Amino acid sequence: MTVVGKRIKKLRRDMGITQSKLGECLNLDKTTISHYENDTRMPDMETLMKVADFFKVNINYLLGLDSIAYSDKRSFEISDEEIEFITEIRKSINYGKIMSNPKRYAHLLDINIPREKNIKIKY
């Protein structure tokens, strides 16, 4: 199964709808949806855009070019120091453990590293 087929199927199942319902919503036949999910047919760009719009995902996610399905419309800047910190965390042998419960480990940082006075942190 290609990335496109896998992702359409996952999004559809996550939403709890049938191939028939998805086809109805996109003005496509159920068999067409089945072909996409089973990689016997590839949706054209117009259909990919409809699918992405329906599921409110980035089209690059459907194509396998992005691993993030849902893009919230918030934008933010990340400093060089934050990038360096993330890079170091990813190198840690405990990375999987940290990512399994990131709030807990962020809390441990708060406990173990005293804050400087007059620094406000937004969460």
Q: What is the pLDDT of residue 117?
A: 56
Looking at the fold, whether 96 and 59 belong to one and the same domain comes out as: no
Q: What is the pLDDT of residue 90?
A: 82
Looking at the fold, whether 8 and 59 belong to one and the same domain comes out as: yes
Q: What are the DSSP calls for the chain, one per residue?
A: --HHHHHHHHHHHHHT--HHHHHHHHT--HHHHHHHHTTSS---HHHHHHHHHHHT--HHHHHTS-S-----S------HHHHHHHHHHHHSTTHHHHHHSHHHHHHHHHHHSPPPTT-----
Looking at the fold, whether 47 and 97 belong to one and the same domain comes out as: no
Looking at the fold, whether 8 and 57 belong to one and the same domain comes out as: yes
Is 26 domain-assigned? yes
Q: What is the pLDDT of residue 89?
A: 83
Q: What is the pLDDT of residue 87?
A: 84
List the CATH number of the domain containing 21.
1.10.260.40
Looking at the fold, whether 43 and 7 belong to one and the same domain comes out as: yes
Output the tens digit of pLDDT for each of the chain's 123 residues. Answer: 578 999 999 999 998 999 999 999 999 999 999 999 998 999 999 999 999 999 988 888 898 887 776 655 545 567 788 888 888 888 888 888 887 887 887 777 777 666 555 555 554
Q: What is the pLDDT of residue 101?
A: 81
Total domains in the fold of the chain: 2
Q: What is the pLDDT of residue 123?
A: 47
Which residue segment(s) compose the domain that 41 sits in? 3-63
